[in-house]
A and B are shown apart, each in its own frame.
Chain A
Amino acid sequence: MSADQQIIAVVGVYLALSLFVGIRAGKGVSDSATGFVAGDRAMGGVLMYFVTGATIFSAFAFLGAPGWAWSRGAAAFHILAFGVLGFIPFYFIGPAASRLGRQHGFVTQAELVAARLDSRPLAVVMAMVSLLAFIPYLALQMRGSGHVLEVLTRGAISMQWGAALVYGVVLIYVWRSGVMGVGWTNTLQGLFMMVLAWTLGLYLPYALHGGVGPMFAKIAESDPGFLTLPGRTADGGDWSWSSYASSVFVMAVGFSFWPHLFQKAFVARSERVLRRTVVLYPTFLFFLLPILFIGFAGVGFDPPPDQADQILPHLLLHMDLPALVVGLFCAGALAASMSSGDAILHSAASIVVRDGWIVGLDRPLSPQAERHWVRLVLLPLLLVSYLVAAVFPVDIVGLLSYAYGPVGQLAPPVLGALFWSRATGRGALWGLVVGSVVTIWFSRFPVLPVHGGLLGLVANVLILVGVSLLVPARNSEGPSRA
């Protein structure tokens, strides 16, 4: 058996195992929309830990993060920095949302906010903003999985075919088992990724530099600026403190408001489970640390990869490692991509049906019909994301950073709906619209050296507060305060 065949065989076994676990996970769950979207609100602590942890362990972690470390030095530290504080708001909003979800049957973020602020258009706009962030994020996961397969099989499987194969498997288990399929496969994938991250993160610096300490000492000696915060830009210039700090801030703010992460508030068995998940979350960051080591290990490696995102597979291919080891890494990177991609896909489909159709357009569906439509919507969403992944050649962390801009705009309406009695639907709606437009505009045409999402957040909060204070207070007949 040739090396390429061995790699493909390992990947095949991994995909088959994921498929098996994902399909089995759906047994025992009710055939209603609550079963498919919220797992009958019965997810325990272990699954919650891995489901939320898998959010950071995506394709960007295994490919984008080492790529940034290799090409932009200390700038890559921001990937770890935003995760430190990013999940803390969920300690408060998670249990509050969970309580309201049980009382009123909510299964999505927008549904909760729209009901609290008594505004159907808000549900539709929140759904659109969510999709605006989800599509590039899902495209990022597909691109990552396709990249890995293409590089490690030396082009035997192209990026397009690789992404189609991996996400074909994801489609099957999400279709069959809904959120429980996501939860159990994330647990399998999370454990696998943790072991691989530390194994490679310690092995590569040791093999190439004699250890982690000697590696950083060597880099600091040859190019001290490379490891100096805030690091470098993509073209090798100095990244500004304002760009670094605003990126950390916007990504930390957006973190808890990713709709697929927020939805887990409706999935958890109890509020206690949610709080414990947040408390344990920082421990997951220590599995990102070796990922950065991998990127730094590639500094000075000859020959360099064509693209920064390919540094890890490039190193593995050029170090004459056994095909089994390369195959295991390949499976680990696919696990990282799938563990985020499946949650996003599942969440996006439920948002389209629940927030767009049922709440936004006021077209009620039976629980079985709703589940049926959520499943059907999986397909076009996957197709659109696939086209984005195949057409737009953006680097992986860049794509992620863009996606966080619109997601951060969901924070003011959610916080207003849960914790500010004077917030109104009109204020939240206009704040969200203007904030999203400002974010996208300044991300596309930057005029200040800050993340576009920061300017969007300022505009969003000002309009939410200003409009809410100007218009009459909302009718308080809706769901009670958290």
Chain B
Amino acid sequence: MTPRRAHLALFLFILVALLSLTWPLSVCFAQPQPLILGLPRGLFAICCWAAATFVVLLVYDRALAKSHAQEDA
């Protein structure tokens, strides 16, 4: 992945995550039931976003590090 694509992908991820964690996308998870893995849907959605943020940042960081290594070489 080129740095430009990585930046764009991260920007889009942050935008969607922000709308999902605030408004209006969080309305989709407003009702607690049905519970997912024992959690209200709103809480489960936030946990999913936390896990997704970790994975996306990890991929983004690796993509940039790889790109910088190639530039240095």
- A interface residue numbers (CB < 8 A to B): 74, 77, 80-85, 88, 91, 211-214, 216-217, 220, 224, 227-230, 241-242, 244-246, 248-249, 252, 275-276, 278-280, 282-283, 285-286, 289, 292
Contact = CB atoms under 8 A, between A and B. Distances in A.
Interface in B16-62: 17-18, 21-23, 26-27, 29-33, 35, 37-40, 42-43, 46-47, 49-51, 53-54, 57-58, 61
Contacts of B23: 241-242, 244-245
Interface of B: 14, 17-18, 21-23, 26-27, 29-33, 35, 37-40, 42-43, 46-47, 49-51, 53-54, 57-58, 61
A85 B32 contact: no
Contacts of B42: 74, 77, 227-229
Given A229-B42, A248-B21, A279-B61, A84 B32 contact: no
A280 B50 CA distance: 11
Nearest to B51: A282
Contacts of A285: 50
Contacts of B38: 211-214, 216-217
A280 B55 CA distance: 9
Dominant secondary structure of chain A at its interface with chain B: helix
Given A212-B39, A282-B50, 14 more contacts: A74-B40, A77-B42, A80-B50, A81-B46, A84-B46, A91-B61, A211-B38, A220-B35, A220-B40, A227-B40, A229-B30, A244-B22, A248-B21, A286-B50
B29 A229 contact: yes
A14 B46 CA distance: 34
Contacts of B33: 220, 224
Contact of A279 (B29, B30, B57): B57
A278 B57 contact: yes
A74 to B, nearest CB: 6
B36 to A, nearest CB: 10
Nearest to B48: A84
Nearest to A211: B38
A245 B22 contact: yes
B21 A216 contact: no
A442 to B, nearest CB: 19
Contacts of B17: 84-85
A229 B16 CA distance: 18
Most chain B CB atoms below 10 A, which of A81, A228, A241: A81
A224 B50 contact: no
Given A216-B35, A228-B32, A279 B58 contact: yes
A84 B17 CA distance: 9
A67 B71 CA distance: 51
B51 A241 contact: no
A224 B50 CA distance: 25
A224 B37 CA distance: 18
